[in-house]
Amino acid sequence: MTPLLVAKDIVAGYQPDLPILHGVSMEVTKGEVVTIIGPNGAGKSTLAKAIAGLVHVTSGDVWVDGTIATNVAAHQMAGAGVGFVPQTANVFTTLTIEENLVVGGAALAKPAANRQIERVFGLYPILADRRGDKAGVLSGGQRQILAIGRALLTEPKLLLLDEPTAGLSPKAAAEMFATIREIATDGSGVLMVEQNAKAALRMSDRGYVLAEGENRIDGPSSSLLDNKEIGAIFLGARPDDLLPVNQRNDP
């Protein structure tokens, strides 16, 4: 089966002579949830942005469902089958939920956009119930659902999520992970960056550990959860130790 995403030997950064990623590779297949973890500054967000066409790839390639998509401009990535939800500023707080979806569907023809918005309302009744409310009054978890709902308007094959549970309570994070799992069950592939390493790996199929812009460890999530080297990569701390106390998974 052709993987949904192949990122191969990606070298990328923000300035031409200063690569942040030094040849990173990863794959996602249909129906999979794949988690990227790694210390702060490892290059996780840079990789997500490079795949999404927001950071220039200087060498290496990105394929989406067998089609080359290296350096396809971000606004054309939806057409290439990729939805991207950045960590911050992912909804317009002064617009209503419905207006956020209309803006998100702007690239679609009007009838298709309307159909997709109703489909997303069907998937996430909380958005339908509050369609006239400003996004700024939503809880963090609801806002994240809106951001994901907006990315789903174009029916992406691959959904890229940068820290979808950042700032959420453990309960809201668990609900978000359940939502993400459903998206994969419905046939998309999900690649997500997570700080909430243990909880994310527990609901993922596979994971990659990045550090200093390089692949360090990858494998089935269960093997990563048991891997003692990962603590050392996080500078002696277990990944969860990096979280505020109220967001840790284990007592």
Secondary structure class of 182 (helix, strand, coil): helix
Buried b vs exposed e over 130-151: b needs ≥16 C-beta within 10 Å? beeebbeebeebbbbbbbbbbb
When binding is defined by CB under 6 A, the residue of 43, 81, 149, 189 that contacts ligand ATP is 43
* Residue 14 binds ligand ATP, judged by CB under 6 A: yes
CA atoms within 13 Å, Cβ hemisphere of 42: 21
Backbone angles phi, psi at 158, to 5 degrees: -125, 125
Cβ 3 vs Cβ 29: under 8 Å: yes
Minimum CB distance to Mg ion smaller for 49 or for 157: 49
Cα–Cα nearest to 194, from 185, 184, 204? 204
Token output for 67: 């089609």
Minimum CB distance to Mg ion smaller for 101 or for 176: 176
Q: How far is the CB of 20 from ligand ATP (least distance, A)?
A: 4
Minimum CB distance to ligand ATP smaller for 19 or for 149: 19
When binding is defined by CB under 6 A, the residue of 6, 27, 32, 45 that contacts ligand ATP is 45
* Residue 45 binds Mg ion, judged by CB under 5 A: yes
* Residue 239 binds ligand ATP, judged by CB under 6 A: no
Residue 247 is given by DSSP the state G
Q: How far is the CB of 1 from ligand ATP (least distance, A)?
A: 29
Token output for 196: 């909430």
Minimum CB distance to ligand ATP smaller for 88 or for 111: 88
Q: Give the whole-angstrom CA distance, residue 145 versus residue 175.
A: 10
Q: How far is the CB of 197 from ligand ATP (least distance, A)?
A: 11
Total number of residues that touch ligand ATP (CB under 6 A): 10
- Pick out residues in 23-42 that bind ligand ATP (CB under 6 A): 38, 40-42
Cα–Cα nearest to 179, from 7, 61, 168, 113? 168
Q: Which does 69 bind (CB under 5 to 8 A by kind): Mg ion, ligand ATP, none?
A: none
**Binding footprint of Mg ion on the chain (CB under 5 A):** 44-45
**Binding footprint of ligand ATP on the chain (CB under 6 A):** 14, 20, 38, 40-46
